[in-house]
């Protein structure tokens, strides 16, 4: 099975052309301000399931922007799937293939080996290819010519202190690795507050790869080299937000998704490799000692975050393509672009979850709950206490699930994506004196203002499964259902019976 069915998108503009040809991208010719107005236009379009937006006349505080701005790129599940190279209906199939690549089963003969060749070929394609004269360095601004004011950086919400770079792919490496060590490279998305013409604040949480690299550099008393790609190809962008194992390079994984070797080039002023086809690249060093207060900014929680100190990066170079486009987004209370991406990643990761806990039938991380704070898990239950085992296993499955505050476990007859179904299970299968598990003093999202201490709070597990064995002394009755033969007879006469009915949408 091939990992993708769409063309290879080597760069952002190629993906944009593909979307525009299918009326999934619209050009906005009217002037739109980068200060708040673009967020409102983006938000309304996303709520309506609208297209990606190519703003041709973005307006900064000093006048028209020097380049177009692209927003709402991944505002629908269809466009997220296209970024992975497949249609929406094949996301789970892609997830199965990726799970098989992460944990391959033993090969059973030559025929089995040959059937896996497309996946093996994709894995081999992951090793990056260095190119000379990369498009991302068609223009370069060094030293005194560095000016972040060249970029149409958005100010998303009222009360925010400065423009915020919202879709940066931040590239770092450990101090022991060489400039060409792409296997040890980390690519993460961390928002960046613009301080002045050549300084930004790097906001990364302690558990993220960029923060770990920075601690290692700072421990040696050295500033950390950093490169920031803005507007890379969709496979590289999506690889940066996937919950990959720490041993898997986002850059290498982007080659697996794309089915083509990633193209990289040496940065001009820092010892790092950068995506050769990115629209814009910032280079510089994150200080080992200098910090600055960041925020408050609107966050995925729907609140402004607290003001805190984070490392300052001094920009040593800005390089860009000819006629570049600037990629942006906003974060806020769902739905926003990250929550749309999160819903697709849920389906993509499901096969890997099932491999780790085979009793799992389905998992839903509701976007309304910030895409990770609540998990609803359906299981094939076979023994007492199984729901609690699943809760504990889920919290330890991925670092991101460490921040899931509430897990609801239900039986496989419950649709985890239907709140009405889940509510029925909670109302009829849960007893508060037996089926509630509270675990205090656990790691929690630092941005969660509900926790009593920053980064430390409780977790809640709700067992809404049918109780069996030692879990109950009562007989559990059968679920109410119509007999299949009756349903079949009514199916046959239903068109005639209902011909004169007036139906309204269910509440």
Known catalytic residues?
299
Please give the Cα distance from 338 to 374 (Å, whole number): 16
Please give the Cα distance from 228 to 238 (Å, whole number): 15
Nearby residues of 368 by Cβ (< 8 Å), 6 or more positions away: 334
49 Ramachandran zone, left/alpha/beta (phi>0; psi -120 to 50): left
Cβ atoms of 217 and 224 within 8 Å: the answer is yes
Name the residue among 228, 238, 249, 266 with its Cα closest to residue 94. Answer: 238
Name the residue among 197, 166, 171, 141 with its Cα closest to residue 276. Answer: 171
According to DSSP, the residues that pair with 311 across neighbouring strands are 291
Please give the Cα distance from 250 to 411 (Å, whole number): 35
102 Ramachandran zone, left/alpha/beta (phi>0; psi -120 to 50): alpha
Name the residue among 287, 288, 305 with its Cα closest to residue 296. Answer: 305
Please give the Cα distance from 145 to 429 (Å, whole number): 66
* DSSP codes, 121-167: HHHHTTS-EE-SS-GGGSEEEEGGG--GGGS---B-STT-SS-EE-S
Strands 199-202 and 129-130: unpaired
> Is residue 367 helix, strand or coil?
helix
362 φ, ψ (degrees, to nearest 5): -160, 160
According to DSSP, the residues that pair with 275 across neighbouring strands are 264
Cβ atoms of 337 and 46 within 8 Å: the answer is yes
Q: What angle do CA 126, 131, 135 make, to 5 degrees?
A: 110
According to DSSP, the residues that pair with 304 across neighbouring strands are 298
Angle at which helices 77-84 and 234-241 cross, to 10° = 110
Please give the Cα distance from 156 to 38 (Å, whole number): 8
Give the Å distances, CA to CA, from 279 to 325, 355, 422: 6, 38, 45
- Cα 392 to chain centroid, rounded: 23
């Amino acid at each position: 099975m091939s990992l993708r069915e769409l063309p290879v998108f080597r760069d952002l503009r190629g993906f944009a052309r593909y979307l525009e040809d299918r009326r999934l991208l619209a050009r906005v010719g009217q002037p739109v301000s980068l200060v708040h107005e673009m967020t409102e236009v983006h938000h309304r379009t996303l709520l309506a399931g609208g297209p990606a937006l190519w703003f041709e006349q973005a307006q900064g505080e000093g006048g028209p922007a020097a380049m177009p701005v692209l927003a709402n790129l991944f505002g629908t599940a269809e466009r997220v799937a296209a970024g992975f190279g497949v249609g929406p209906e094949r996301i789970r199939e892609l997830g199965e293939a990726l799970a098989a690549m992460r944990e391959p089963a033993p090969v059973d003969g030559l025929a089995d080996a040959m059937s896996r060749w497309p996946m093996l070929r994709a894995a081999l394609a992951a090793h990056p290819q260095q190119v000379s004269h990369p498009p991302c360095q068609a223009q370069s601004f060094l030293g005194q010519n560095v000016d972040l004011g060249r970029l149409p950086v958005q100010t998303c919400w009222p009360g925010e202190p400065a423009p915020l770079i919202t879709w940066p792919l931040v590239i770092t490496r450990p101090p022991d690795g060489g400039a060409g060590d792409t296997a040890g490279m980390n690519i993460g998305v961390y928002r960046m507050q613009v301080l002045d013409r050549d300084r930004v604040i790097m906001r990364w949480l302690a558990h993220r790869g960029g923060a770990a690299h920075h601690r290692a550099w700072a421990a040696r008393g050295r500033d950390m080299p950093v490169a920031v790609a803005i507007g890379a190809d969709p496979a590289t962008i999506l690889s940066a937000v996937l919950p990959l194992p720490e041993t898997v390079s986002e850059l290498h994984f982007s080659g697996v998704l794309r089915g083509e070797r990633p193209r990289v080039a040496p940065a001009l002023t820092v010892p790092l490799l950068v995506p050769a086809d990115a629209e814009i690249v910032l280079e510089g060093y994150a200080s080992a000692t200098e910090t600055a207060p960041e925020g408050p900014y609107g966050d995925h929680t729907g609140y402004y975050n607290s003001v805190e100190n984070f490392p300052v990066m001094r920009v040593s170079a800005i390089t860009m393509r000819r006629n570049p486009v600037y990629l942006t987004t906003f974060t806020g209370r769902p739905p926003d672009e990250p929550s749309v991406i999160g819903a697709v990643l849920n389906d993509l990761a499901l096969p890997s979850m099932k491999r780790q806990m085979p009793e799992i039938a389905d998992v839903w991380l509701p976007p309304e709950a910030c895409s990770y704070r609540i998990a609803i898990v359906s299981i094939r239950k076979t023994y007492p206490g199984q729901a609690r085992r699943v809760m504990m296993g889920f919290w330890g499955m991925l670092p991101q699930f460490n921040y899931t505050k509430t897990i609801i476990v239900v039986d496989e007859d419950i649709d985890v994506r239907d709140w009405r179904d889940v509510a029925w299970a909670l109302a009829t299968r849960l007893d508060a004196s037996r089926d509630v598990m509270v675990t205090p003093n656990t790691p929690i999202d630092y941005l969660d203002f509900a926790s009593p201490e920053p980064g430390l709070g409780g977790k809640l597990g709700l067992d809404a499964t049918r109780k069996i064995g030692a879990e109950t002394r009562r007989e559990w009755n059968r679920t109410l259902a119509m007999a299949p033969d009756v349903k079949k007879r009514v199916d046959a006469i239903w068109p005639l019976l209902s011909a004169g009915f007036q139906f309204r949408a269910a509440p």
